[in-house]
Structure formats: C-alpha cells, structure tokens
Structure 1
Amino acid sequence: MAEQNNGAVGADQAQFAIQKIYVRDVSFEVPGAPQIFNEPGQPNLELNLNQKVARVGDGVFEVALGITLTCKLADKVVYLAEIEQAGLFQLAGFDDRTLDMMLGTYCPNVLFPYARQAIGDLVAQGGFPPFYLQPINFEALYAEGLRRRAEAAQGGALPEAGNA
C-alpha cells in the first residue's frame, strides 16, 4: 500500500528539468572603429531586455532571454552587443498560473548568468573596459507584467461595456 501511495504522490508532483541551454543569436558591432577608441567623453549605456516563450513539445518550452546593450558617446554608437540566450525546459504537473510564473521567472533566472557572461565577454573582446551586467529581478519584472496585463484586460473590458 505504501508503494501505491508513493507512486501516486510521484505522479502528482510537479517536475522541472533543463534539457539544453544554448546561444540562439549573438552579435557585436563597433561601427566607428578604430576612430571611436580615441573619442573623449563619458559613454552612455542603454540596456534592453526581452523574453520569449514558445511551446515546442508536450511539456517542453523554449525560453529565450534577449539582451541588447548599446554604448553611445554623444550621438555616436560606440558598440552594440546583442545576445539571445535560450534554453529548453521540461515542465510537468504545474497548474497554469504556476507554469506561467515558472516560465516568466525561474527559467530566465537560469539563463541570465549565461547571457551576462556572454555580454561581458563580447564587450571585453571588443577592446572595451569590462562590463558587468547587474543582477535582474525577474520576479519584479514578472509581477509588473501581470499588473500591466490586468490593467489592459480591465481597460479593454470597460470601453466595450460602455458601448453596450
């Protein structure tokens, strides 16, 4: 009887596995080289972050974390570093809400150190001072995304109700 209970508990438990982590796309550009290396001034860094999730099989999802780092000096682009770090994740036994949360927070947290290392390496290999991408709070970004989705749903429902 204990074996049946153990089997039933194991079947009901949520499962998470990393199948593969890989670079989907990478790019580094220094449009003004070599003259840009002699330009005086304080550079300005802009960071853009995006995430894509796609179901690729039964319980298997590809999560891609995109990071674009643009360094500018006045109006000139000094360098542009882009990476799309991806992974295949198997998730089973999660309810819809928890699955969404895992794909929006846990999976990007797994991918982030790889993307951070790649961006840092690209900048250093480009001949620029080291760049250390600070940790990103994916839980806060996910919560903000949920808040925006809720506002959009409410905003979308109110005009329709007003038209009726």
Structure 2
Amino acid sequence: MAEENNAPVFQIQRMYLKDLSLEQPNSPQILLDQTQPQVDINLALAAEPIAEGLFEVSVTATVTTKLAEKTLFLIEAKQAGIFEIRNLSQDQVEGILGIVCPQMIYPYLRAVVSDVCTRAGFPPVLLTEVNFQAMFEARQQAQLAQQNGQAAATVN
C-alpha cells in the first residue's frame, strides 16, 4: 500500500480560459481598407505552483494585426490548466510543465483565437503548430549559458 502512495501522478484537474481581450482601436474606418494586413504572433508560457503537487500552466498568445502603422485588431488570449504532478524528479516535473502541459493547452488556445477573430468580423487567424520541446530545450540552453557567463564573470 505504501508503494501506491509513491506512484508517479500526472493528471489534468481543469482547463480554462483565464484571460481574453480584443481591441479594434481604428474601427470602423480601417475596415474599409482592403490591403493585406501584417500579422504578428507572440507566445508566452508560464508555470506556477498553486498548492502541494498542483501547478497552473498557461499559454498566452498575443496577435497584433496592422495595416501600415494602424492596428486593425489586437487579441490577447491566455488559456490555462491546473495539473496535479506528484512523486517525480524535479527534472521530470520541469519537462512536464514546459512541454507536456503546454501541448495539452495549446489546441484550446488556437480555437479561442480563431473564434474571436471570426466573431470580430475578420478571417480567422490560425496559430501554427508549436514545438514546445524545442522551445523548452532552447530556454534551458539559454539559462545554462547565462549561468556559465555569470560564473565566468565572478571568477574574473
């Protein structure tokens, strides 16, 4: 029975839309322009412990669409989930929080952004697939390089 209490646990507790914002600062005049807009998409990830063994992981997409220098629309959407993670090593937990959880959340975020665009009267913006493992590894390498740089600076 004691072995069962130490078994690794990974479960989704809840998925939810945490924040959503749509701005159309230059409407309705800009809607008459038929020029092809420039679309800029930025993603951000966050993971926070909220209780023993429980973590909130969120993926935020900021979509800015401009015609020349005027903003056509700006969407910021944050999709989040609460995950239970227990009895795993710190490295395993970091990998799950940085790769697995965002992969589970991202399809919901993609649907929200597309839906908001359509409801706002624009063609849907389809967020491309994201390689969260590559993002996680790049972030780890950057942190390691920064730590090595700081260590070298302290030695000199």
TM class by shorter chain equals: over 0.9
TM-score, structure 1 normalization? 0.91
Does the residue aligned with 1:131 lie in a helix, a strand or coil?
Answer: coil
Alignment-derived partner of residue 92 in structure 1? 86
TM-superposed CA distance for 1:134, in Å, is: 1.0
Report the structure number with the largest CA radius of gyration.
1
Shift of 1:12: 3.8
- Is 1:27 matched with 2:21? yes
Q: TM-score, normalised by structure 2?
A: 0.96
How many Å separate the matches in 1 of 2:8 and 2:68? 51
Cα distance, 1:127 vs structure 2: 0.5
Matches within 5 A, 1:14-53: 14-53=8-47
Moved over 6 A (4+): none
Instruction: Return the offset for 1:130.
Output: 1.9
Range that drifts further, 28-37 or 146-155: 28-37
Question: Which of these residues, 44, 56, 62, is aligned with residue 68 of structure 1?
Answer: 62
Task: State the distance in 2 between where 1:52 and 1:138 align.
Answer: 13
Unmatched tracts of structure 1, length 5 or more: none
Superposed displacement of residue 97, structure 1: 0.5
Matched, 1:131 2:125: yes
Q: Percent of pairs identical after alignment?
A: 31
Unaligned residue ranges in structure 2 (runs of 5+): none
* Paired position in structure 2 for 1:150: 144
Amino acid at match of 1:56: I
Work out the CA distance in 2 between the residues paired with 1:20 and 1:40: 41
Equivalents in 1 of 2:65, 2:90: separation in Å?
39
